[in-house]
Structure 1
């Protein structure tokens, strides 16, 4: 496996069993079927030192809203995702960049709790991370696409959660994935980092932006970097990708070679940006530079920066 496939949420080889989605209702009745559980986008995990996404028999899940979504197969048995977002716990999530609270359902196994996926993603196995990300992205899409985009009537879930169908006009709608380029922009021995105004204090990351209709990945890299920092980029190469279910993005990691160095920032998108040398970035990752906090571990930005330092990008 290439290093690029070892990014969080990718590379576990989940059997998605697409050929079985039309028979999801029958599969749900299989005694061997298991489900992972979500509550308002949080995933149910168990364990302390080592976290694991809990699989439960479908019949043991309380307060399920709507049919489960078919995630695939594990060891030959159907694996679903179920949502119980209607449950009202005593402790509600906090607003902010990252929710640190946990919720424990009284009717679920002792020790299990719902946690923010972004907070636990690096502690999960590759399989658990992929399963949780897939379930979170699917339920997020269903929550925001309950009505037909053609005629406006309520649509219904079909094909194991991988389609929505309008009973009024017959329109079919499929889960949305938004392509986002994220750029490792280098000039000599330095890397271009920036920060958005709403990020935690001192956090810097790679530049990123949505790919626009009619645009290639390479063109999106050059446009986004120019718009946000005024830097002109020449050669662009693909490095790695990461499903990012916050809410429904596919992060497309690229390397770009800068042809200019001067920075002219877009203050709406970028609060600050600077060229950071390899030696300084090494101090940042080692905690010896208090002026910069690197992108969160588990993100493709952290993955690309770390492997650029180690000269292991392939």
Structure 2
């Protein structure tokens, strides 16, 4: 379960990390050790669109390195993801590099909703790294083609000597309340009827709290009175880290360039929106999907609002 008894959702692991791999940084520079692990390792295969190969039921199809290459190596062109609780290694590899065939492919959002949490987290790690590799084949400083090092966690430029490492972009996401109501907005590009809490990227030279205050002001016209950090969620679409906050603000919100609509919702309106997850009447507000930290923040507000938990 998540904080305050709310249901767990993909990509937010248990606080003790049981839902994630041991990233095993100590092994990344040891190519001999990675080669030894390869034969018995499970390998996540991704197509050119970042979808994972899956079985007939849509679950992860992760063959061993031996099944892919007869145990004769392969770690040199793959990315080392880490070790599970049993010490088994996990790698990811572009599916085009193998002859392995699977009946289906699954996108990351679907996997996050349907797969076991650890496998979804492994897929998320693999997809984020694939995206980074695709965009760093050449050095951003001199244009020379880069070389892959450290089990896929570093690209080195032989031209100017610059080392490149995977990047994660921090973004704040905030449930703004005025004591009795929750603030939600929607972008024009979102699916019809979809509403969510406020979010935006952290800018250079800015603290997380400053980013919360700026984003809420820019998107809604409201000034945050106070905010508090609650939880985080890796969001590999393609490489963000969502940092969740609760905040307080008062006043009448105004739409902006970012949000075509923004409004306060009381607990009755949020309750009706929650019910549509089970019985959509085709009208009214739809909330963020359960796999997102946005929904977790909404559920947390609901549980802490008088009457909310008992009416859920």
| Distance in 2 (alpha carbons) for counterparts of 1:242 and 1:146 | 27
Instruction: Kindly report which structure 2 residues correspond to 1:1-314, keeping only aligned pairs within 5 A, or say none.
Output: 3=3, 6-11=8-13, 12-24=19-31, 26-30=33-37, 31-39=39-47, 40-46=49-55, 48=57, 52-61=59-68, 67-74=77-84, 75-84=86-95, 107-109=100-102, 112-258=103-249, 260-266=250-256, 268-287=257-276, 290-311=283-304
Contact 2:111 2:120 in 1 (8 A): no
SS of 2:272's equivalent in the other structure is helix
Indicate the SS of the match to 1:281. Answer: helix
Preserved contact between residue 191 and residue 275 of structure 1 (Cα < 8 Å): yes
The Cα shift of 1:2 comes to 5.8
Contact 1:194/1:272 (<8 A) preserved? yes
Q: Residues 52 and 25 (structure 1 numbering): CA distance in 2 closer, same or farther, change over 3 Å?
A: farther
What is the CA deviation profile of residues 74-99 of structure 1, one whole-angstrom value per residue up to 9, with x for unaligned ones? 22122101112589xxxxxxxxxxxx
Q: Which moved more, 1:116-125 or 1:14-23?
A: 116-125
The 1-side partners of 2:231 and 2:209 are apart by: 14
The two structures, once aligned, show a CA RMSD in angstroms of: 2.4
CA distance in 2, matches of 1:85, 1:280: 48
Q: Deviations over 1:273-294 (max 9, x none)?
A: 1101112101101027722111
In the aligned structure 1, how far is the partner of 2:75 from the partner of 2:261?
Answer: 43
CA distance in 2, matches of 1:137, 1:270: 27
Q: Distance in 2 between matches of 1:43 and 1:130?
A: 12
51-60 or 241-250: bigger deviation: 51-60
Taking structure 2 as the reference length, the TM-score comes to: 0.85
Separation in 1, partners of 2:68, 2:164? 28
Aligned partner of residue 217 in structure 2, secondary structure = helix
Unaligned runs of 5+ in 2: 14-18, 306-312
Q: Are the aligned partners of 1:52 and 1:125 in contact in 2 as well (CA < 8 Å)?
A: no
- For the 8 Å contact 1:65–1:84, the answer to whether it is kept is no
Name 2:16's counterpart in structure 1: none
C-alpha contact 1:45 1:114 (8 A) present in aligned 2:
yes
Pair 86,77 (structure 1): closer, same or farther in 2 beyond 3 Å: closer
Deviations 1:233-287 (A, max 9, x none): 01110011000010000000101111x3212221x21111110111210110102
- Distance in 2, matches of 1:22 and 1:65, equals 12
Count of residue pairs the alignment pairs up: 287
Which whole-Å CA distance do the structure 1 matches of 2:161 and 2:245 have between them?
39
- SS of 1:148's equivalent? coil
Q: Give yes or no for contact 1:229–1:263 (8 Å, CA) kept in 2.
A: yes
Change (3 A) 1:308 1:285: same
After TM superposition, give the deviation of residue 150 of structure 1 in Å: 2.3
Answer 1 or 2: which has greater helix percent: 2
Any unmatched runs of 5+ in structure 1?
Answer: 88-105
Runs (4+) off by over 3 Å? 4-7, 59-62
- Provide the TM-score with structure 1 as the length reference: 0.84
3-state SS in 2 of match to 1:141 = helix
- State the partner residue of 1:92: none
